[in-house]
Amino acid sequence: MTPSPASETARRVTVHLVYSGASGPAVRGRRLLFGEDPESVARELGGLSEGAPLVAVDVVTELASTPEGRRLHVDRVVYAEPRALGAWPTVLPPAGLLPAVGELAPDEEPGARGPRMSRLASYGMVTDPRGRVLLCLIAEGFPGAGTWHLPGGGVDPGEDVRTALRREVVEETGQDGVIGDLITVSSHHRTRPGEPEIHGVWVFSHVHVARPGEPKVTEKAGSTAACAWFTPDELAELRLSTTARRGLEFLVRHSRDRSQRR
C-alpha cells in the first residue's frame, strides 16, 4: 500500500449514533468503510434491527493534520434514535467525536475488484415561497444526461456540506438560498464490469430561496445544461435522475416524520 503524498488531503467519513443508554443519552461512532451504507452502520452501532427508525441530525466536518504532515478531511455523519433526538449536540464529548482523527489516518486496503472511487456529495431540495422545486438538466456527455437532477455535487477538500451546497446552487442555477434542515444521508454503491467500483455518500438538505429569480447556469463547461423551477404537478411529467427521485421521496418522508414528532 503506497502512502499518499504529504500534500494530498485524505478524505474520511465516520458514522455516529446518538442513543438512549442505561445512564442517559450517549454517542458512539466508527469509520465508514468503502461500500458501507451509513444508516446500516448507525443501526449496527446501536444494536438496532434492520429498518429501525433513525433521524439524520448533522454532518460535522473536521480538518486536521497528522504529525507526519498528512492533511485529513473528515466528515462525521450523525444519526439519532428518535427518542434521543433532543440530546444532540449536548452529548458531544469535550474532546470531540470518536474515532479521533489520528486513528483515521491509515488508508484502507485496496479493493480486490480493482480501482475504486469514493465521493461525498451534497444535494439540495431547493424550494421557493410558491412551493416550486428547482432542478437542473444534466448535460450531454455526463452520467444521466437528459434527466432533471437536484442542484448540488461533490464536496471539495476543506469544504463542509453546507458551504459546498450553497456554492453548487449558485453555480448551477444562479439562485442564493438558505440551507435549512438536513433531510437525510444516503449512499450509492455501484459495480460494473470494466469500470471502477464507486461508493458515494449523498447528503440531502432543504434549501429555501426567499426571493427567486430566473434560473441561470453560471458555471462554464460544467455538467448542467439548463435549470428551471417546477410546480409539484409538473414534477410528475419530468424524466428525473435517480438522485432526484430519491431526494423527493426523502423530502416527503422527512416532512411527514417531522410533523408526527411535533
Q: Encode pLDDT of 139-189 as tens digits.
A: 999 989 999 999 999 999 999 999 999 999 999 999 999 999 999 999 989
Nearest to 26 by CA among 81, 76, 74, 77: 81
Domain range list for the chain: 9-89, 116-261
Statement: 116-261 belongs to CATH 3.40.430.10: no
pLDDT, one tens digit per residue, over 74-90 is 999 999 999 999 999 99
pLDDT, one tens digit per residue, over 61-78 is 999 988 888 899 999 999
